[in-house]
A = this chain, B = another copy of it.
Amino acid sequence: MNLSIGALSRETGVKVPTIRYYEDVGLLPEADRTVSNRRTYGPGDVSRLRFIRHARDLGFEVDAIRQLLQMSDHPSKPCQEVDSIARRHLANIDSKIDRLTALRTEIRRMLDSDAHGTISECRVLDVLAEHGKCLHEHH
C-alpha cells in the first residue's frame, strides 16, 4: 500500500526531484521515512500530487494551489477567508474558461475553413487580445 518516491512518480507523472521540491515548499507534507531514511507515501499523496500537477498545468501558481489545498484540508471550516479565496479563484477560473473557449472556437474555425479550401485569415491573436479590455483585473 505504501509507495516509494519512484513509484509515486510513476503513478502521478511528476518527476522525483519535483516531488521533493513540493515537500520543500510545503505543498506536500513531510513524507514518512523508512528506517533507512527513504520517503514513503500513501494513496492520499497520490491524489494530492495529481491535483498539484493539474493545477500547475492550468496555470495556477504554487501559492494559489496552497490555498486550494488548504480548502481541501479544512473542509469543515468554510470561514469567511476561505470563502472569499474560493470566490476569487472561481472568478479567475471562469475567466480562464472563457478565454480558452474563445481560443478553441477560433482554432477550430481555422482548421475547418482550411478543410474547405478557403484561405482563412487567422484571428487567434485577436480573439484573446480582445479580452485585454478586461484590463488588470487579475494582477
The chain A residues found within 8 Å of chain B, CB to CB, are: 12-13, 46-48, 50-51, 53-59, 68-69, 71-72, 75-76, 78, 83, 86-87, 89-90, 93-94, 96-97, 99-101, 103-104, 107-108, 110-111, 114, 119-126, 128-132, 135-136, 138
Do most interface residues of chain A lie in helix, strand or loop, or is the interface mixed?
Answer: helix
Contact of A86 among B78, B96, B111, B130 (CB under 8 A): B111
- Are B111 and A104 closer than 8 Å at their CB atoms? no
Q: How far is the CA of A26 from the CA of B132 in the complex (A)?
A: 21
Q: How far is the CA of A104 from the CA of B101 in the complex (A)?
A: 15
Q: Contacts of A110 on B, CB cut-off 8 Å?
A: 71, 75, 78, 86
